[in-house]
Amino acid sequence: MTAEKTLPDLPDFDAIADLMISEGVLTLSPAELHGLMAGQLSAGARFDTDTLLRVLCELMNVDQLVQDEGKLLFASLYHITLAQLLDEDLGFRLLLPDDEQEISQRVDALSSWCSGFLAGFGMYLGEQPMSDALKEGLQDFAEIAQVSTDPDELDDEDESGLLELQEYVRMAALYIFAECNPDVDPDPADKRKQLH
Q: Residue 4: its pLDDT value, please?
A: 59
pLDDT per residue as tens, the chain (196 positions): 445 568 889 999 999 999 999 999 988 999 999 999 999 999 999 999 999 999 999 999 999 998 898 899 999 999 999 999 999 999 999 999 998 998 989 999 999 999 999 999 999 887 778 899 999 999 999 999 998 777 667 666 788 889 999 999 999 999 999 999 987 655 544 444 344 3
Amino acid in the structure at residue 137 = G
- Residue 108 is predicted with a pLDDT of 95
Collapsing DSSP to helix, strand or coil, 124 comes out as: helix
Residue 152 makes CB contacts below 8 A (sequence gap 6+) with: none
Amino acid at 131: S
Model confidence pTM above 0.85: yes
pLDDT of residue 149: 76
Residue 101 DSSP class? S
In CATH, 13-181 is 1.10.1060.10: no
Q: First CA to last CA across the chain, in angstroms? A: 38
Specify the pLDDT at position 190: 45
C-alpha distances (whole Å) from 100 to each of 32, 97, 104, 164 are 20, 8, 11, 17
Is 135 exposed, middle or buried (CB count within 10 Å of its CB: 0-12, 13-18, 19+)? exposed
Q: DSSP H helical segments within 61-156, as ranges? A: 68-86, 103-124, 132-145
What is residue 196's predicted lDDT score, i.e. its pLDDT? 39
185: CB partners within 8 A, 6+ apart: 86, 191
pLDDT of residue 44: 93
**Domain ranges within the chain, ordered by starting residue:** 13-181
| pLDDT at residue number 160 | 85
**Per-residue confidence (pLDDT) for residue 162, from 0 to 100:** 92
